[in-house]
Structure 1
Amino acid sequence: MKLKHTLTITTLATLLIILYHVNSNKSSDDVENYEEPLFNTTNLAKSNKIFNLDLKYIQNSSTCAQNESFLAIIVITSYFGHVELRSAIRRAFSEKTLAHMGLKRVFLLGEAPSDKYTKQESIVNENRRFNDIIQGNFIEAYRNLTYKHLMGLKWATDHCKAQFLIKMDDDIVVNLRAVVDILKNTKFPQKLLAGYIFKGMKPIRLKANKWYVTEEEYKYNNYPAFISGWFYITNIKTGQHLVLLSNYYKYFWIDDLFVTGIVANSLKIRHYDLSKYFTVNPEFLECCIRDVKKKLSCDIMVGPNGGDNNLFFKFNEALSFCYDNNCKNRIKSLNDTCISEYKVNLGRGEGVIQNYKIK
């Protein structure tokens, strides 16, 4: 009996070990064994190298030169020729107003020698006037956004003593006063990436699609969870590690997926969800502006401008009323109450006139 009992225990133990190894090596459509590069964070040295690029700042800013601590540095991914968008953001919050809120701001640009509307001389003059442009030595291109994204994190973590680092795009509308409230009143984890989380997304293998990704670029069937590059919050320490670890991977052009997903995976970061503050409908922002006149508050913190270059200014100017007055919390959601004109942004195209024969 004793021998039989021993054999039973041994058999059960063996089965448990086999099941453990089967499950630990299991790969499904939802979970994949991503290869991680070999690195040691204690031995990583600072470098001006971003992949194959020896980074140089063509235009720089002394925004953080005074070496004082402050609440947050905002790095804004901006296209070379987006002069109107940068203007709207500056008009909404001047440098003096930002300082009062504990914030500083810079815009991230590349080079665009072929731009028809804006010349390099204009960028030099813009930076001379506002002292808030960081321009890297790479060409402005959609597939170069990872260079720009990492340049922003690198510049901020090298130059600024801030509690938080905010990354956003220039065509996104953000309620900065609400952001400050969240920063001051939320207990965030030390390894911090907070924003709108994407999960369960797969690479698109259709060549005609804008987001087409080859298997050589990314060999797995699923993307890891990542944060939208529209707007996210991190801190200096996390930002430093993201920049340093990025060079242990091959270049990948979908910047938010690469930085906040692929690289962040190595840091074992658990994303902090802020999706309840986001909208994908610019019409909701317009409704918020109208509702302020009824003394109704707006729950939205982040949303797209829908092609309206001045919406960042209009939205924040309207919502400032609620910070000076006691606006009421809305009973029904914007989804139930917002009635607005649907607008289609056709971009900065050029008119083409052609003759057609009428049969």
Structure 2
Amino acid sequence: MRSEAKYIVGACTLTGLITILVYSSEVNIADASNRIIPESIKSSVSDTKSQLWDIVSNFGGSTPGSSKPYIHQNLHPSNLTLVNLTNIKFPINRDICNVSEIGIVTIVHTAIDHQNLRSIIRDTWGNPKIPGVNTRLVFLTGTTEHDDQQARLLDESNTYHDIVQADFHDSYHNLSYKNVFGKMWTSQFCEQAEFIVKTDDDMFLDLYGIYHLSRGLVNTTTTKQAYDNGEFIFCPIFHPMAIIRDPLNKWYVSEEELEGKDYPPYCTGWIYVTNPKTAGRLAEQATKSKFLWVDDAWVTGILVKALGFKHTNMMEWFVMQGERMVLFKSAQNPDIYHRDYIAAPNGNREIAEYLERHARWCYINQCDSNIYKTKLGQQTKKEKYNDELLERFILHNNGYNSP
């Protein structure tokens, strides 16, 4: 699990600028103001922000999507093949996608003993309150040899009904099985979902922003055609990435396992978005291709290449530093353009609560950012100036250098 960083957040109200130190273990950052705006452009901001923020604070529910039942009668089918494992079984399976309309199903790769991380996700970003939209949360895991761990997992499943387990050993070198398992499960048991979001249990995702971006994807001719054909995957793309040949490296792959110098373009496993039809095709292709344990490179690189389609790039909305996401989310508002992110590493409850609150506020009020308004590279001169000024201001005031 990634180590937690100390977060330094500059907070600003309409009446004056203050800088506060926020330590994830000491201060309730959800109580901090969400403005980080330099005095030189602060006059552009409307005075309704605090009133609108109260709406989010009291926004405890939402209007769900269709509740028409969509029941999967057989949760334990026979003769299923997972990669090269025949007659795969599900020790734990739930009819999680049991309504006819689901906007997003989020598939989280988790380790059996990561109860705390699953709890954080359930209580914060994993169950967004998107008006009129049903979402579903699923934690994927393999099996364990420890009876006490399995018993606790089963108790957790009986309480929250969001865990699915297949009978392969849950280990680092079996991540490709878990990855394809997620594709197989969604294509079999959540086939009516519009989108599948895949991530890991030590991440924060802005599902409000992801849902908004998905609306544009299904309304764009090229990506709509890919979506309909089962050739759709939206992710931060890694390319070129050399195949590691050093036997001492954790990512070592031998020539016997995979020939060549570089992997084909592939997605970071931290976040990608696909759909059930594409997921089903990837799961089927996995039964026909030579196995590789490096799951992201194999499933979203080698298998995608074998199927002959390309990725849609998400890199402008992804950041590898969780503290940077905290800083930039804090600066979002509907009045001044500033870039935003939808995914970053995090395993801290308080920070997840804080980021979820900001994400929900921006969805309701359509913050002026590359999620809700103008993509990076397409900004007006004023938008670009405001974006660069805010970035320099935020990073400088919090001890970082601009990239």
TM-score by length of 1: 0.74
Distance 1:120 1:318 in 2: 36
Once the two structures are superposed, residues 227-272 of structure 1 have per-residue CA deviations (whole angstroms, 9 ceiling, x without a partner) of 1111111111111110001111122111111111111112111110
User: Per-residue deviation at 1:209?
Assistant: 0.9
Query: How much is the aligned-residue C-alpha RMSD, in angstroms?
Result: 2.7
1:1-359 to 2 correspondence within 5 Å?
48-54=80-86, 55-66=88-99, 68-93=100-125, 97=129, 100-114=132-146, 119-160=149-190, 161-186=192-217, 187=220, 188=223, 189-190=226-227, 191-291=231-331, 299-305=340-346, 307-308=347-348, 310-325=350-365, 327=367, 329=369, 331-333=386-388, 336=392, 337-338=394-395, 340=398
Structure 1's 340 and 304: CA in aligned 2 closer, same or farther, altered over 3 A?
Answer: farther
User: Number of residue pairs matched?
Assistant: 293
User: Per-residue deviation at 1:310?
Assistant: 4.8
Distance 1:146 1:238 in 2: 17
Q: Which amino acid aligns with 1:303?
A: A
Contact persistence 1:165–1:235 (CA under 8 A):
yes
Structure 2 counterpart of 1:12? none
Contact persistence 1:85–1:310 (CA under 8 A):
no
Q: Which amino acid aligns with 1:105?
A: L
Q: Which amino acid aligns with 1:208?
A: L
Structure 1's 268 and 52: CA in aligned 2 closer, same or farther, altered over 3 A?
Answer: closer
Structure 2 counterpart of 1:355? none
Distance 1:274 1:233 in 2: 9
Distance 1:133 1:180 in 2: 23
Distance 1:303 1:169 in 2: 11
Give 3-state SS (helix, strand or coil) of 2:292's partner: coil
Q: Which runs of structure 1 show a deviation greater than 6 angstroms over 4 or more consecutive aligned residues? A: 293-297
Once the two structures are superposed, residues 79-106 of structure 1 have per-residue CA deviations (whole angstroms, 9 ceiling, x without a partner) of 1111111111111157583684332121
Q: Which amino acid aligns with 1:112?
A: T
Q: Which amino acid aligns with 1:204?
A: I
Contact persistence 2:329–2:340 (CA under 8 A):
no
Structure 1's 276 and 326: CA in aligned 2 closer, same or farther, altered over 3 A?
Answer: closer
Report sequence identity in percent: 28
Once the two structures are superposed, residues 112-149 of structure 1 have per-residue CA deviations (whole angstroms, 9 ceiling, x without a partner) of 3349xx72111111111111101111222111001111
User: Per-residue deviation at 1:168?
Assistant: 1.3
Distance 2:133 2:295 in 1: 29
TM-score by length of 2: 0.66
Once the two structures are superposed, residues 5-53 of structure 1 have per-residue CA deviations (whole angstroms, 9 ceiling, x without a partner) of xxxxxxxxxxxxxxxxxxxxxxxxxxxxxxxxxxxxxxxxx95112332
User: Per-residue deviation at 1:63?
Assistant: 0.9
Structure 1's 124 and 50: CA in aligned 2 closer, same or farther, altered over 3 A?
Answer: same
